Amino acid sequence: MGSEHNRKRAKWQDYSGNNAGVAEKSFYEVFTELFKGTNFRIRRSPKEFNNAYFDVELSEDVLAQIYTPPIKKWRHGVVPDYAIDNLDTKKTIYVEVKRQDGWVEGKPRKAGRGNAHERSCKFFTPGLLELLRKHGKLGDNVIPFWVVFQGDITRDPCRVREITLWYGKHSAHFFMWRNQKNITPLIDHFNKHIKPLLL
């Protein structure tokens, strides 16, 4: 594994170095390129949970008190932005990429009032943690998702503090990708904090 591991690591470093600062990169294109020739893959809009809410069983008492639509089934679930799979270990981590405005130079404080960062916290709920851990085969003590923030939110003095507090000791599970022309910090964060969870 030593030489193979080093060869793949060198490939990733070469890609990072050759492409840094050239143009803005999307999360998907960065990881699609990085995973070429490796045992990793990235998937857009993974469908494993697209009926997670519909499939929740409710008691007869609760069913008697809520609206029951005249249709038998409808789609009601959650679809993360991406899934990163290790094809060898069959482990998966789910990814949300959130772009949001923020309070930065030249903008009023209210520029940071969006709630994309708040909506990403749904993955911290007990039910979704259990579901993502089960499908991702990551174990009971692993946070099964990674959130990457983009845009002015990554420099907003209020939102950065909120997110840092929310994640607490799990700060490795979010990343502030402040410059999409520089992919090196994103790749470094993945290699250091996220990739080991998939091995």
And the tokens for 48? Answer: 């494993």
Give the model confidence (pLDDT) of 87-134 as tens digits: 999 999 999 999 999 999 999 999 888 898 999 999 999 999 999 999
- Cα gap 87→31, rounded to integer Å: 15
Superfamily holding 2-45+80-198: Eco RI Endonuclease, subunit A (3.40.580.10)
pTM of the model: 0.86
Give the model confidence (pLDDT) of 36-48 as tens digits: 999 999 999 999 9
Q: What are phi and psi of 181, to 5 degrees?
A: -85, -15
- What are the residue ranges spanned by the domains of the chain? 2-45+80-198
